[in-house]
Amino acid sequence: MYINGEWINKDNTFAVFNPATNEQIGTVADADDADISAAIEAANTAFASWSATTAYERAALLYKAHGLMLARKRELAELMTREQGKPLKAALNEVGYGADFLLWFAEEAKRMYGETIPSARANQRFWVRQHPVGVVGAITPWNYPISMITRKLAPAVAAGCTIVLKPAEATPLCAQAMFEIFHEAGFPPGVVNLITKQDPKPVGEAFCTHPLVKKITFTGSTPVGKYLSGLAGGHLKRVSMELGGHAPAIVFNDMDPVHAAKGLSLVKFLNTGQACISPNRIFVQRDIIEPFLAEMSNRIARLKAGNGMEEGISIGPLINQAAIDKVAGQVDDAVAKGARLMQGGERLFAGEADRGHFYAPTLLADVTPDMRIYREETFGPVAPVIPFDDEEEVLAMANDTHYGLAAYVYTEKLSRAIRMFEGLRFGIIGINDINPTSAAAPFGGMNESGLGREGAREGLLEYLETKLGGVAV
Ligand code: ADP
């Protein structure tokens, strides 16, 4: 753990495993309540001086951390592949994406503009400024174990906040490697703190109830996000929540089905489907569905599953047995209710002790609303395809979910693209675009997919309070 500028070892530790091989790859400190309090108190003490630094000083440290991250890109990516399982190429991309947040918020720190507001009274002046909210408690997930750290930490410290971060218990080594970078970059003691703990509950409770923590930022599942928001609400703490999704992808018949299948097979199997923006319902207009399925099927048949350190692997392991059970349960339920299994549908390397939790990339056709996969987030390598007939119908089907994170549309018609953009109740909409994410663009969901936005100008505002000054002259 890293508290108040010092690395802390503990006698109590927990083990970290490689999900591709089941090998133990390390152990990390298991925090107790006193460690959590110490980290929060250190962050609170540091806040007094850190919040008084200039944006230029804060930016200089973020630039430094950005440079160190790029210099260690390969090392970080290899660690990520070992700890989380994604193929090395995907891990390299994630390190780049993660570094982008340090750079973006180093720049954005300098643009925390205020404003003056005309008063109705001749002898009164108003001005408005932004101030950092204070100590931030951050909880990050295992699926993007480096970029989710920088997406929270960079805007928090750019705004002048201090932070205590708890990474997912499956991926604490990536977090340690990042905090080595922050240490080397020279952040003053207490500005950035890392707590590792196998049981996340006491950390969540401390962040939501401790009087010195002013804001909780969380990325993870919707049930945990609701629980933490409720707890934080009781203490009136600010929250940012990036939660689950059930992304629709809509392919209209004015589009080349082969081109759409290429894009959707790439985004669906990214990170082995373990992404909150992964398409979970692929709606294809009925008259182009067979060529679409044929192309998807060919592409999926060529995907190779295995250890992400090996060349040519594009399907890594799922994170644990529970993930396998969930995916297999949804696929079996769909097949039992009449879905057509066109690829996959089975666990891979089952019974091989030195292989982790692999599930074959799977294509399901004829999926219907009564199947679990139509409503439940999958978080695995399964592409469910559903036919539709017209635009109005598919818009209603796409919006028929309590989630609202990402949606994808394939169409060549400008007017239809605009209608879909306006009609879809999702926070991120990719139109003929499978990669609508960037440090410069606001990421976040509507409905039960979350509260607030990360990245972009909005990402900085999440860590700022508005202060009004009124002066009689
Ligand atoms: P996932 O299904 O992606 O693992 P979780 O929401 O369980 O999603 O985990 C995301 C993050 O939330 C992890 O860092 C995990 O340790 C943490 N977490 C899980 N349960 C709780 C909880 N009750 N309180 C605080 N943090 C939690």
pLDDT tens, 265-284?
Answer: 999 999 999 999 999 999 99
Ligand 1 contact, 318 CB (< 6 A): no
Confirm if 194 and 2 have CB atoms less than 8 A apart: yes
Residue closest to 249 by CA, chosen among 216, 272, 227, 273 = 273
Which residue among 218, 219, 221, 227 is best mutated to probe the pocket of ligand 1, counting the most ligand atoms within 8 A of its Cβ?
Answer: 221
Which residue's alpha carbon is at the smallest distance from atom 22 of ligand 1? 201
Gap from CA of 204 to ligand 1 centroid (Å) = 9
Gap from CA of 139 to ligand 1 centroid (Å) = 8
Which residue's alpha carbon is at the smallest distance from atom 10 of ligand 1? 220
**255, pLDDT greater than 90:** yes
Question: Tell me, what's the pLDDT at 16?
Answer: 98
**351, pLDDT greater than 90:** no
**293, pLDDT greater than 90:** yes
CA angle 430, 406, 204 (to 5 degrees): 145
**27, pLDDT greater than 90:** yes
Of 83, 242, 377, 448, catalytic: 242
**8, pLDDT greater than 90:** yes
Ligand 1 contact, 169 CB (< 6 A): yes
365-377: average pLDDT: 98
88-108 helix and 147-159 helix, angle to the nearest 10 degrees: 10
Q: Is the ipTM of this complex over 0.95?
A: no
Averaged pLDDT of the chain:
98
Question: Tell me, what's the pLDDT at 366?
Answer: 98
Question: Tell me, what's the pLDDT at 135?
Answer: 98
Question: Tell me, what's the pLDDT at 177?
Answer: 98
Ligand 1 contact, 27 CB (< 6 A): no
pLDDT tens, 72-83?
Answer: 999 999 999 999
- What is the maximal distance between C-alpha atoms in the chain? 81
Of 208, 276, 295, 454, catalytic: 276
Confirm if 338 and 368 have CB atoms less than 8 A apart: yes
Tokens of 138: 């951050």
Known catalytic residue: 242?
A: yes
Q: Which pairs count as long-range contacts for 341-347, CB under 8 Å and 24+ apart, including other chains?
A: 342/293, 342/296, 342/297, 343/297, 343/300, 343/301, 344/300, 344/381, 344/382
Tokens of 83: 């700890």
414-423 helix and 391-399 helix, angle to the nearest 10 degrees: 30
**353, pLDDT greater than 90:** no
% of the chain exceeding 90 in pLDDT: 99
Known catalytic residue: 180?
A: no
pLDDT tens, 180-189?
Answer: 999 999 999 9
Looking at the CA of residue 140, tell me the nearest atom of ligand 1: 14
Gap from CA of 466 to ligand 1 centroid (Å) = 30
pLDDT tens, 73-122?
Answer: 999 999 999 999 999 999 999 999 999 999 999 999 999 999 999 999 99
